[in-house]
Amino acid sequence: MKVAVGCDHGGFPLKEVVIEAVKAAGHEVIDVGTYSADAVDFPDFTKKVGEKVQSGEAERGVLICGSGIGAAIAANKMKGIYASICHDTYSAAQGVQHDAMNVLCLGGRVIGPELVKVLVPAFLGAKYLGEEKGGERFAKRVNKIKELES
């Protein structure tokens, strides 16, 4: 799958680790920046990742800002983007499986590279269960989330 990756200056130190983890999991990266540690605004890069997912150019996205919080808040303002901060592998996978999460948010000043190397594969390896037999309860809940967007 294609995965859009974006960050601000607070997430920049982890960006290459994220990119390598995406590639190591067998996926293609769409790097939307930032490309240096110079100060930038996270909503600009959140928008770039979100638009790639909204358009279908990317199936999923990974955002990294200082805490992960700002990127998650901004991403969830975009229709069809279901983003969350996940700093444990259970949440990174379960967010996809149960809640159709399509953007993983990470705190570049909160976690280190070794955790990134397990979080990204957990996120990318998970599949939404709402479309599977027995997944009706997940689909029902996700549909209620979609109603909130309207």
Quote the pLDDT of residue 46. 98
Q: Exactly one of 7, 27, 65, 86 is catalytic; name it.
A: 65
What domains can you pick out in the chain, each with its CATH number?
A: 2-149 (3.40.1400.10)
Does the predicted model carry a pTM greater than 0.85? yes
Burial class (CB in 10 A: 0-12, 13-18, 19+), 11: buried
Q: What is the pLDDT of residue 150?
A: 85
- In the residue annotation, 86 being an active-site residue is answered as no
Residue pLDDT, tens place only, 107-121: 999 999 999 999 999
> Which tokens in the block code for residue 16?
């290459």
Structure confidence at residue 15 (pLDDT): 98
Task: Map tokens 């996270």 to a residue.
Answer: 42
Residues in the chain where the model's pLDDT stays below 50: none
C-alpha torsion angle, residues 71, 77, 82, 88 (rounded to 10):
30
Task: Mark whether 27 is an active-site residue.
Answer: no
* pLDDT value for 97: 98
Task: Give the separation between CA 62 and CA 83, rounded to whole angstroms.
Answer: 9
